[in-house]
A and B are shown apart, each in its own frame.
Chain A
Amino acid sequence: MDWILAIPALPTLSFALLLVMSRQVRMRMLWLPVASIFGSLILSIVAFAQVWPGGSEEAIWHAGWEFAELAGKPVDLSVALDPVAAVMLLVVTIVGAAVQVYSLGYMHREEREGWYFAVLSLFTAAMLMLVLSDSLLLTFMMWEMMGLCSYLLIGFWFENEGPRKASQKAFLTTRVGDLGFLIALFAIWGVVGSFSYEEVLHTVGDWPAAVAAVAGFGLLWAAMGKSAQVPLQVWLPDAMAGPTPASALIHAATMVAAGVYVVARMLPVLMVTPWIMQTTLVVGLTTALLGGLLAAVQHDVKKVLAYSTISQLGLMFVALGAANAEVALFHLTTHAFFKSLLFLGAGVIIHAAHTQDMRFMGGLRRHMPITTVTFTIGSLALAAVFPLSGFFSKDEIVATLLHEHHYVSAGVVLLASLVTAFYVARMLFRVFTGPEQTKHLSEGHMSMLAPMSVLAFITLVLGFASPTFANFLGGHGVWPDPFVAAISMTSAGAGLALGWWFYGRRSAVVNTAIWKRRLGYAYDALAQKLYFDAVYDHVFIRPFMLGATLLAVFDMRRLDGFVNLVAATWVRICTISWRVDVTAIDGVVNGVASAAKGTGSWMRGLQNGVIQRYQRLVLGAVIVLVLVVFMVKGV
């Protein structure tokens, strides 16, 4: 079964090969990363078939290497294949392959296209390894590797100010979260002495309560950073400065889902401490609602999708907070497909309309039929409309909450899904209907539409696998309860209707200014991203800058004074030494120099080009050598 290692190894290999190539060669070798991801995809399907029909959490394959030794205990990096990993492998490779094929068209003739594909391959490899990982340390390594790739791809157009700042912001914000991961690692090593998932999860009941709380909260905090949960959500909307397909893969389908994935794996650790579970639930609910509200006021189509991603990830956290990992993972899976579909569609739309601002779009439906259909499928799945996949996964979340008697939470989720349906309708109507505002609209290239169609097909049918999915992961799969389904459909329908009333009515000139005025402060707050960035600016960044300035002043006044004193003393010493220099040392130096000059001009005579002079030298040397030998040997 060791061939499973080839799944992450293939993209790694293609990254390594691309890395050593020159830019021109890379441009001609783009088939390499695409071929490697398809190789991984095929192997993932085989791996999935091996695990099928699943039903237990036991791993069917294990491998490990000793990475280091810490205080006499081996630190293992190990991998394992269990049903969860198999599903995630499929998700990552399918979305990855779709994104890479799409990128062939989207990034065409981009100057650093080869580098883009190389980083994409590295990212895919890291995510696949994270999914297979059976050791928290390996997970953390891959976690950081993905952070690096995310940084590189957000800052892909580093010539511009925006992407550069966004990449730094993303990296630093997720770093704040990673601190939690590190603390959790320390705590777990302290009590367990191993990073293996199995050992950690088996011994978790025996841990001291404080350690369990620290580890649990550390992991939750790390996941909140990676999955852009309130209050660490600020980096994800800015991350949209990167190439759109990269956003589809990293900031919609896979990397941001890694937080949810790790928490789902480590859920028993969090469950030891009740307040951490409550925190998870509250964070998820807040994020789901706020993300949706923020998405509703964005004009940039990619930002709408970014906030919607935040909101959907919040829903997954809600499921985790309700202690139902299978539901969270199912929503993760469906979301990965329809959100990457939406991002890819957004890429096509942006290419066609030459803008990201929805206010300057409109009427795309008539010119881009395939994009319209696939994008609408993705959007309706996001709005949780029956029978698309998003409906099933969101319905399960609501059902779980009702089952656990979290009625308030269920209400918030329904409200969030109403808001979601509203901004989905707003986006659809603004982009695809209404008067055309751009000339020369044309459909995207085949290499971009084909992956979108595949993802749209998966979005259409995946929902019906809902009970099978839960059974496969070892849970109890059930079909949606008609009562719950009716409630959630009502909220989605209400949201869509509201959106239609604002943006879709034929009579309505899209003018929401009057509503914005009526809502006053509420709208302003949303437009200002609920002041998160402003608060961080005032609370963290400005004091930091102020501190830096104060240190600089101290530096100049105090430290520099000392340095200047030292310098002045040094100058005095140097003046004395200069006198010594001129009289004594220069004499010697000049003497050496003229001696060298004399030797040089004498030596120059040897190089006069007359062959017989050389011959004489050689002969003389031979004679001297022979005489030396005679003397040594005594003739």
Chain B
Amino acid sequence: MSDKQLSQKEIQALEQYLPMWKIVFGQFLQHKMAVVGLITILIFVAIALLAPVISAVTGLDPNRQNPLARYLKPGTVAPLGSSQKEEAVLNFENREPQAAQALRADLMSKQLVQSVREEDALYDLAFLEKNQALEVLKKLKTPEAKKFEKVFDSFETYHLLGTDDTGRDVFIRLVYGTRVSLGIGVVVAIMATLIGLIVGALAGFYGGFIDSALMRITDSLLSLPTIPLLILMAAIKGKDFLEKIGIDEQEYTSSAVLSFLLENEAIIKLVFILLIFSWMTTARLVRGSILSLKEREFILAAKTLGAKDSTIIVRHLFPNVISVILVSVTLKVGDSILFEAAMSFLGLGVQPPTPSWGNMLFNAQDLIQEAPFLAILPGLLILAVTLSFNYLGDGLQDAIDPKAIRR
């Protein structure tokens, strides 16, 4: 087979130029696990973005507590508490006042409920057993009654993944937790790597005083005890801080940026704190590889060509440390999600009731015997996302390595 002579055309096809991105993409597709990882990550991103839609479609609310339905097993149906039933009826009355009015009058006149006042009729009906109430409505046979039947459907919720210690639906909390956990993980990983890259590149490239100064800062941050400092920083309140630096309430409520910051204070503070403590390893790794790279002859060649320092750093050094950077980003996503979990456990991170995988995981640990699923599910998601990012990084690293290009 192989001793077949290649025609001129075939040789040309083999030597033909492919654009860089096509080569990289082709290489990436060959890395099966990386593709799986990428798809997994994209699914999680979609879930995070579509969380409100999922909530609307399923009628689940991540913060709705239900004391009657604590620690339910996955796949069970739970009745709502009385206050939620009242809320549902009230919603119905507000939505269709005429239907409600007619229905009330019917119920009173036919004496199907034992209400003293007409206003209470629907509520009393709602508090009956479901089957009983539905029979009552069937007797009426009016279109209004049909409409009200639907309200009863919402009196039960289907908990795909069970409920937690306050009866909240685990599925929808995991969906919303994706937003927080994935968001924090990705933002912190990318920003920390960027900071590390810049610090490491400057230190490695310029050496001397700049190197010593930057590396001593890095070392001192590395040697600081993380947890006590985190507690200290988490204790700073955003509003107090703004007032200290002379911005009063009027100003920060009128400024869109500041009020946004204050609304999401816990999460932003967490991102900030994680950033401060997670760029140092990258800086060291980058510095190390730049120290060895800058003595390579292609850097000297660029210098003799008259290249500026910035050109050398951006064109020659960065592309050659990209594998370090990819490893750093992908590892940091996992780290940051876990770190967020630890912080949330200490009560310093994402504050309940906002769900994050981290605080769900740690909430679950008291009752690991009774409700193991509460711990297993967020744990599995953290595992899946972390693994996916690692495989993605692996695949990208292979894909962009020119030495691995198979033409």
Partners in one complex: no
Chain B residues at the A interface, C-beta cutoff of 8 Å: none
A→B interface (CB under 8 Å):
none
